[in-house]
A and B are shown apart, each in its own frame.
Chain A
Amino acid sequence: DSGVTQTPKHLITATGQRVTLRCSPRSGDLSVYWYQQSLDQGLQFLIQYYNGEERAKGNILERFSAQQFPDLHSELNLSSLELGDSALYFCASSSRDSRETQYFGPGTRLLVL
């Protein structure tokens, strides 16, 4: 158990809908990262937050957004969902954003029908 929690574990929704994925980092970790794992794209970095502020952006679509709250939990919002958004979404956390190991949560499996 990495100490990173993600909810929900599974999510089934329809095209055009909006969902919110939640992540609680390990106690004391200030950085939260979101990754998407799909069959065709592999594991891709989406976005990083550090202590409430956006720090880095990767291959995140404009339909997706994230935020990190004062209690350091983070939410990833996916809107106008398409079939191709079906994937496993991982959250990871680290204590700082310099040379620290990222610990991954169990993931949220999203299925868009």
Chain B
Amino acid sequence: AQSVTQLDSHVSVSEGTPVLLRCNYSSSYSPSLFWYVQHPNKGLQLLLKYTSAATLVKGINGFEAEFKKSETSFHLTKPSAHMSDAAEYFCVVSLSGSARQLTFGSGTQLTVLP
């Protein structure tokens, strides 16, 4: 079975300060890992994905995530938050193999303060 745990349901940062959204995963097999973002009343947009290539993955809008197998973590970071980053972020795992359904974390609501 596969699962993801997002360690914080809410994160609040000031504009211009670093962002850290934490995610731990559980998977019996080699997983693919993703971060998606959902802005209010919008669909889900892919930020970045890890599929067993480089462990440090760069995504859109200055976000990046590091896959750490020893810690079973895939934390999302950004050096400097922008007001437009305020949204809900989902850590997602997908198993290798023929079944490609995604398992979503419970989400982290990011608030960016002026």
Residues of B within 8 A of A45 (CB): 101-103
Instruction: Tell me if A42 counts as interface (CB < 8 A to partner B).
Output: yes
Contact (Cβ within 8 A) B43 A99: no
Contact (Cβ within 8 A) B101 A101: no
User: Known contacts being A42-B107, A99-B32, A101-B34, is A48 close to B44, with CB within 8 Å?
Assistant: no
Interface of A is mostly: strand
Contact (Cβ within 8 A) A106 B32: no
Instruction: Tell me if B46 counts as interface (CB < 8 A to partner A).
Output: yes
Quick one: CB contact mask for A77-99 with B, threshold 8 Å, 1 for yes?
Answer: 00000000000001010100111
Residues of B within 8 A of A94 (CB): 100
Instruction: Tell me if B27 counts as interface (CB < 8 A to partner A).
Output: no
Instruction: Tell me if A25 counts as interface (CB < 8 A to partner B).
Output: no
Distance in angstroms between the alpha carbons of A55 and B101 in the assembled complex: 10
For this complex, into which size category does the number of interface residues on chain B fall? 20 to 34
Residues of B within 8 A of A33 (CB): 100-102
Residues of A within 8 A of B44 (CB): 90, 92, 104
Distance in angstroms between the alpha carbons of A4 and B34 in the assembled complex: 19
Instruction: Tell me if B72 counts as interface (CB < 8 A to partner A).
Output: no
Distance in angstroms between the alpha carbons of A48 and B102 in the assembled complex: 10
Quick one: CB contact mask for B78-109 with A, threshold 8 Å, 1 for yes?
Answer: 00000000000010000011111111101100
User: Known contacts being A42-B106, A43-B90, is A100 close to B45, with CB within 8 Å?
Assistant: no
Distance in angstroms between the alpha carbons of A70 and B61 in the assembled complex: 37
Contact (Cβ within 8 A) B34 A106: no
CB-nearest residue of chain A to B104? A43
Binding site for A on B (CB under 8 A): 32, 34, 36, 42-46, 49, 51, 90, 96-104, 106-107
**A-B pairs with lowest CB-CB distance, top 6:** A43-B104, A45-B101, A104-B44, A106-B43, A56-B99, A97-B100
